[in-house]
Structure 1
């Protein structure tokens, strides 16, 4: 691979990363909204936790913050349980 091909591959990878990063954030916001709506609709918290992989604490903080506008917990708080 020459320098020109490497630079082209790098640019392509960067564009793909940016595009998928935006899609991931949009999906995360949709999941937050769906999780809050599910709890409000009566789905058991344990089921929402099981489905999302989030902790109960994260879900509680998400509900408290509303979750719809990003005012809830950060993405780092949503790390799956081990």
Structure 2
């Protein structure tokens, strides 16, 4: 390895790091999506139970418009 490689990191170790990161991402992707769907359901339930929309916005980081769409989608699909 020459001086230039020492500054950038070795290509083989960088490739191995990329592979490890991709595998870790794939392992957690399903759990992340399941948690996101549960958060959507919990947000809609909270609003239906009387929690102020501004509080749901604060907790979730979502916009009021996004919450309105979630409520509408739930209503349109007949979900309870």
Q: TM-score, normalization: structure 2?
A: 0.68
Q: Distance in 2 between matches of 1:39 and 1:65?
A: 14
RMSD, matched Cα = 2.3
Q: Which runs of 5+ in 2 are unaligned?
A: 1-8
Q: How far off its partner does 1:43 sit?
A: 0.7
Bigger Rg over Cα: 2
Cross-structure match for 2:6: none
Query: Quick check: which one's helix share is greater?
Result: 2
State the TM-score, normalized to the length of structure 1. 0.67
Equivalent pairs counted in the alignment come to 68
| Structure 1 unmatched runs, 5+ | 70-82
Shift of 1:27: 1.2
Please, which of 26, 29, 39 is the counterpart of residue 37 of structure 2?
29
